[in-house]
A and B are shown apart, each in its own frame.
Chain A
Amino acid sequence: MMHIYAFGSVCRGDISFESDIDLLALVNGRDLRLDPDKFSIYSYERISELWRAGNAFAWHLALESKLIYSEDGRDFIHDLGMPSKYVNAADDCRRFREIFEAALSSVKKGTPSLVFELSTIFLSIRNIATCFSLAKLPNPTFGRDSARKLGSRSIPLTDATYSILMRARILSIRAMGDDISKENTSKIIDELENCRFWINKLCKEVGANG
């Protein structure tokens, strides 16, 4: 049995030249035809668990996925209905803050893996924004610009620095684009230090500072 869904930017119509197409494959057990670099691969059992837990990824799929292929003619995700209420914002934001801090610490120490660390910082701020929006805003925001779509709570980063972080993510995952110069690292660090206030503010609102 197999179901394939597209999700993310292509379903929002929020595409750019750098956009990837996110694909989800639902299968039973292992399926060697599926390249894990191209598909997020989940079992039916696991995806059902995520639904019951009200997991943030389940909400992403529930709100932004489209069926591409169904072996049995059914839309498995649609048939699951909406996930349980999202209640893990505090834990999720706390963990992504830890990931942000670890990556920023590595950058400050002069890491030999700068692109990976900047990519990790991008992942953490994007996910903190998404988790916050799921918990606190009427319309949750997903995707690469989620941290800039929080209205008055949007991330206080310049476009230049945000762009560098996004480029790092694309380099780390898809290996596309030019290498990132280490010359501007000190400026980026200054801005990311300021990001701590933003992260802590959002974490406080979802109860992650307690």
Chain B
Amino acid sequence: MDEFVSRMATQRYVLNAVNSKITSNEELFGLSSNAIERWAIANQLGPKSELVRLLRQVSSELFFMATHSQEPVSAEYELRRQRIVDSVSALENAV
């Protein structure tokens, strides 16, 4: 459950970073693939957008953690945890 709270906090952090710094036609509603796709279209960001790529990366890592976080800690789990930190940092620089 603490992992769940932690993932919610990470989502909030990323969404606020994007929504507070980017003047857009529509806010980013969430980090699901559908929400990212809608936001990219609303803001005319193409498939080559670095920001969209980073958002998809964070989203992918968070979803992985959501379904695997309670399993015995593996090397991949730790690697992905670090990837989230790195992706969020890169995303902050990109916005």
Closest residue of chain A to B9 (Cβ to Cβ) is: A102
CB–CB A95/B27 < 8 A: no
Q: Which residues of B contact A115 (CB under 8 A)?
A: 27, 29-30
Q: Which residues of B contact A99 (CB under 8 A)?
A: 5, 8
* Residue B11 lies at the interface, judged by CB distance under 8 Å to chain A: yes
CB–CB B16/A111 < 8 A: yes
- Tally of chain A residues near chain B (CB < 8 A): 33
**For window 1-55 of chain B, which residues contact chain A by CB distance below 8 Å?**
1, 4-5, 8-9, 11-12, 15-16, 19-20, 26-30, 32-35, 37-38
CB–CB A49/B70 < 8 A: yes
Q: Tell me, in angstroms, the Cα distance from A92 to B68 when the chains sit together.
A: 19
Q: Which residues of A contact B28 (CB under 8 A)?
A: 113, 116
B32: contacting residue among A49, A95, A112, A173, CB under 8 A = A173
B5: contacting residue among A95, A168, A173, CB under 8 A = A95
CB–CB A116/B11 < 8 A: yes
* Residue A163 lies at the interface, judged by CB distance under 8 Å to chain B: no
Q: Which residues of B contact A42 (CB under 8 A)?
A: 67
Q: Which residues of A contact B9 (CB under 8 A)?
A: 102
28 A/B residue pairs, CB under 8 Å, sorted by A = A36-B60, A36-B63, A37-B63, A41-B67, A46-B70, A49-B70, A95-B1, A95-B5, A102-B9, A112-B20, A113-B16, A113-B19, A114-B27, A115-B27, A116-B11, A116-B12, A116-B15, A116-B29, A117-B12, A120-B8, A168-B29, A171-B35, A172-B35, A173-B32, A173-B34, A175-B29, A175-B30, A175-B38
